[in-house]
Amino acid sequence: MEILPPVLAPTSLAAIEVEGLTKLYDSFTAVSELSFAVRPGEVMGLVGPNGAGKTTTLRCISGIIPPTRGSVKICGNDLAKNPVEAKQQIAFFSDEPRLFDYLTVQQHLEFTARIYQVANAHEIGQQLLEELEIADKADKLPGELSRGMKQKLAIACGFLHSPKVIFLDEPLTGLDPIGIRRMKNSILKRARDGAAIILSSHLLHLLEEVCSHVLILKTGQKIFDGTLNEVRQKFSQQSADASLEEVFLRATEETKA
């Protein structure tokens, strides 16, 4: 199965606009003055060492926790002022899928469809279960699914309302090699359909295959954001085919205090 690069729409307005995002836990600054934008069709890899602030950033920009300062706009909707309109456009996938113990796979999709008022939910849900290869588990409860299958169910629920903005926090953990390949293709398909996507992962060689852009965070501060080519030019010392791993190591080394 071939992985195709995302089709970018360079003239589109940003679907995700973050300005001066700052998050303090008590007096500890986890994320500081972070600004960036992601346009429809772009897949941005959010990378950084442990504790850099990646999960905190994703939780703030999806409305799970409030930022201390700064603004987040989702498809033009201010997340603080119009949270429902903004959140209607979002799908957020955390590294630990959260499911309902007493709903089957099919009932998860029906419940999600009702909340998001999805037309054609049955048809879309069936397509998603087939795309993710869990259609044969439609009548199973989460307790009867493997970890990877639970993750796939969470993904099916998240994609059901055709979100324009997708956040994924370590989405490949727990998936088998075929599952990883399918997930990557699924991400690229949604980008080609016009979704703006942010993907946080430590698996840099995998990010390299799906991301058009990268944002490097370290101790809550942005070190760099731009296209994969731009980050290579800046941190790879003329080597145009340097891997993202080499670039990442150099970028985080160079910026040591």
Residues of this chain that interact with ligand ATP (CB under 6 A) are 25, 28, 30, 48, 50-56
Closest separation in Å from C-beta 56 to ligand ATP: 3
Q: Which is nearer to ligand ATP, 21 or 113 (CB)?
A: 21
What letters, b where the CB count within 10 A reaches 16 and e where it falls short, cover 131-140?
bbebbebeee
Q: Which is nearer to ligand ATP, 30 or 38 (CB)?
A: 30
Length of the chain: 257
Q: Which is nearer to ligand ATP, 52 or 109 (CB)?
A: 52
Closest separation in Å from C-beta 49 to ligand ATP: 7
> Cα–Cα distance between 15 and 89 in angstroms, integer?
10
Closest separation in Å from C-beta 67 to ligand ATP: 12
Question: Which H or E run contains 167?
Answer: strand 165-169
DSSP 190: H
> Cα–Cα distance between 53 and 51 in angstroms, integer?
5
Closest separation in Å from C-beta 128 to ligand ATP: 27
Q: Tokens 């700052």 identify what position?
A: 22
Do residues 138 and 129 touch, judged by C-beta distance below 8 A?
A: yes
Q: Which is nearer to ligand ATP, 112 or 200 (CB)?
A: 200
